[in-house]
Structure 1
Amino acid sequence: MMTGNIELQSTTNHGTWRWLGRIGYAIMYIVLILVAVFQLFPLVWLMFFSLKNNQEVFNLPPLSLPMHPRWENYSKVWNAGNIDVYFLNSLWVTVVATVLTVVLGSLVTYAITRMKWKGSSLVLGLFMVAMMIPVHSTLIPLFNFFNKVGLTDHPLSLVLSYVAFNMPITIMILLGFYYSLPREVEEAAVIDGCSVNRMFFRIVLPMTGSVIATTAIINMIYNWNEFIFVNTFISSDSYKTLTVGVQNFIGQYTTDWGAIGATLMISILPILIMFLFLSDRIVEGMAAGSVKG
């Protein structure tokens, strides 16, 4: 009889914990849904904002639908606003700077983690210290340098600046993953007569695909959204990017707010789409690079 009571009590406790677990999961999902809605609020507001004219922007509530959706705002900024040129400039500058940063960062990380040479710790320390340098403190020195070498108002000044400022964070993300790579694979390649360069490009680089994808996505987001360097070094419309192109719709006496909203929406969509499709690679690369051994 006592055994039956114990089993009944155990079953009751198990059922109680199961219901508590379900309630906990329900609360967690409700909280996550609320956070997701809060995160999506600016995008919804910007979408409605981009389909309004100036009167609707100031007279209607922020989340109200436009009385007559003005899709012509997008065609106006793309054709008359020179946004197509700015979009292509942002695209190729972002891609070139990202590829250079990832390749150079991988080479530096490989040399620091897989080779024994004097000064490797010093070089790593210098890169880590570079992360603490504020971007704003370098604007005047960089402008003077680019002015002396004839690179002001030239896209190469943006590419060089992006590579220099993104190298430290790229190396920091790559370090943990490179430390965890098994040395047996490289030792076997050396026995087979593989050179260092071939070993890096044929063996090591393909093994680091997940963390390279992570660093590439982070670099692309930064390069695509960067404003300070473009606004400082570039003055010609033919070299401007999307982040500064929005200023074309801000006049001395009037401002086309609908066109500004359409420009911002166009600038957000590529990064948003890329992040939605590749966000799992960011988590995978971060998790892979966080474990050593």
Structure 2
Amino acid sequence: MTATVAPVRPAGRADEPAPPARPAARRRISVGRLLGWIGIVLLLVIEIVPLLWLLLSSLKGPAEFSTKPMWALPDGLHWQNYVDAWVRGNMDTYILNSALATFPAIALLIAVGVMAGFALEVLKWRGQNGVLLGFLVGLMVPTQMILLPLFTMYFHAQLLNNPLALILTYTATGLPLTVFMMAGYYRSVPREMIEAAVVDGASIYRVFWSITLPVLRNAIMTIAIVQFFFFWNDLLFALTFMGSNDSKTIQAGLLAFIGQYGQTEWGPTFASICISIVPTLLIYLVLNQKVMKGLTDGAVKG
């Protein structure tokens, strides 16, 4: 039997590069990333804690608001507050009035805003920049300045305590922002797509219905949801034009829980506030992906 000797490896040279270091077991968290996570947690706390406190307060009994701290947990679940808010507080009537004023206004606003944005951004005609500037000026008009003229007009037209007054007001006040946003979204539509359709013989109406509208579907949905939040939570116009109890919207109806000399039933009041935010919360939870997509559609020009 012959023995074999293992070959001896040559010694490394001094100028030979050192082997790469092994990756660390844990990635070191940078200071910027840590601050970012702390900011996100703070924002979540700011958003969630008030909602949680509102929900717990809506389940407290009448005596708990005067005998216990405001952050104390309820002794029991007083669901009677929601029954009182719905029955004695006429929440069903207020929600119906808000829906009758909000949804027709959104439909009219989107119809006019989509067509105006198409005319101002896609079509070429004399004076379009001046018209767009006029819509931008409408964004700078304070809401308080138009209350008295609108109230006078609606009084002579006998439109007070009528949902039509809110529909016209919401449409007029929301149109500048809608047109401005739609013009930006139309600017992101590839011009090659529109030019190809025109070369193929498509008319202006065909380009509008079959080319641009399908592309801007998420953007239109985003504008509709943003305006829905504004209209549903409106208090100023509702208090000005809706004086009777049967015509009040949900935000104006919440003031009905404040009794004489400032006496307030806090349990039903908090319950009614919880009821009022349910529609906006549900709509956002269902359509939040479309909202995020629509917000980024106009950011980069196609």
Verify: 1:104 aligned to 2:112, yes or no.
Answer: yes
Verify: 1:55 aligned to 2:67, yes or no.
Answer: no
SS class of match (1:91): helix
Match of 1:290 among 289, 295, 299: 299
Deviation at 1:60, TM superposition (A): 1.7
Query: In 1, are the aligned partners of 2:154 and 2:165 still within 8 Å (CA)?
Result: yes
Give the whole-Å Cα distance in 2 for the aligned partners of 1:3 and 1:23.
Answer: 37
Give the whole-Å Cα distance in 2 for the aligned partners of 1:67 and 1:217.
Answer: 38
Query: In 2, are the aligned partners of 1:176 and 1:292 still within 8 Å (CA)?
Result: no
Match of 1:265 among 258, 274, 286: 274
Deviation at 1:66, TM superposition (A): 1.2
SS class of match (1:292): coil
Identity of aligned residues (%): 37
Matching of residues 48-197 of structure 1 within 5 Å: 48-197=56-205
Query: In 2, are the aligned partners of 1:98 and 1:220 still within 8 Å (CA)?
Result: yes
Match of 1:230 among 235, 238, 252: 238
1:15 matched residue in structure 2: 24
SS class of match (2:27): helix
Which structure 2 segments of 5+ residues have no match? 1-11
Verify: 1:35 aligned to 2:47, yes or no.
Answer: no
Give the whole-Å Cα distance in 2 for the aligned partners of 1:67 and 1:247.
Answer: 27
SS class of match (1:20): coil
Give the whole-Å Cα distance in 2 for the aligned partners of 1:184 and 1:239.
Answer: 50
The superposition leaves residues 51-91 of structure 1 with CA deviations (integer Å, 9 ceiling, x where unpaired) of: 12332123222222211221111111112221101111212
- Going from structure 1 to structure 2, the CA distance change for 1:199 and 1:51 (only over 3 Å counts) comes to same
The superposition leaves residues 202-244 of structure 1 with CA deviations (integer Å, 9 ceiling, x where unpaired) of: 3221110111111011011101100000000011222211101
Verify: 1:221 aligned to 2:229, yes or no.
Answer: yes
Deviation at 1:277, TM superposition (A): 2.6
Query: In 2, are the aligned partners of 1:177 and 1:211 still within 8 Å (CA)?
Result: yes
Query: In 1, are the aligned partners of 2:100 and 2:163 still within 8 Å (CA)?
Result: no
Verify: 1:277 aligned to 2:289, yes or no.
Answer: no
- For 2:188, the aligned partner's letter is S
Deviation at 1:168, TM superposition (A): 1.5
Q: Which has the higher helix share?
A: 1
- For 1:220, the aligned partner's letter is F
The superposition leaves residues 178-212 of structure 1 with CA deviations (integer Å, 9 ceiling, x where unpaired) of: 01212333334334443322331232211101111
1:250 matched residue in structure 2: 258
Matching of residues 189-208 of structure 1 within 5 Å: 189-208=197-216
Deviation at 1:142, TM superposition (A): 0.9
- Going from structure 1 to structure 2, the CA distance change for 1:234 and 1:191 (only over 3 Å counts) comes to same
Deviation at 1:39, TM superposition (A): 1.4
Deviation at 1:4, TM superposition (A): 7.0
Number of residue-to-residue matches in the alignment: 289
- For 2:298, the aligned partner's letter is G
Deviation at 1:23, TM superposition (A): 7.7
Query: In 2, are the aligned partners of 1:89 and 1:241 still within 8 Å (CA)?
Result: yes
Larger Rg belongs to: 2
Query: In 2, are the aligned partners of 1:105 and 1:167 still within 8 Å (CA)?
Result: yes
- For 2:55, the aligned partner's letter is M
Decide which moves more: 263-272 or 26-35.
26-35
- For 2:174, the aligned partner's letter is N
Which structure 1 segments of 5+ residues have no match? none
Give the whole-Å Cα distance in 2 for the aligned partners of 1:27 and 1:130.
Answer: 39
SS class of match (1:34): helix
- For 1:7, the aligned partner's letter is P
- For 2:282, the aligned partner's letter is I
The superposition leaves residues 26-50 of structure 1 with CA deviations (integer Å, 9 ceiling, x where unpaired) of: 6643542332122111101111111
SS class of match (1:141): helix
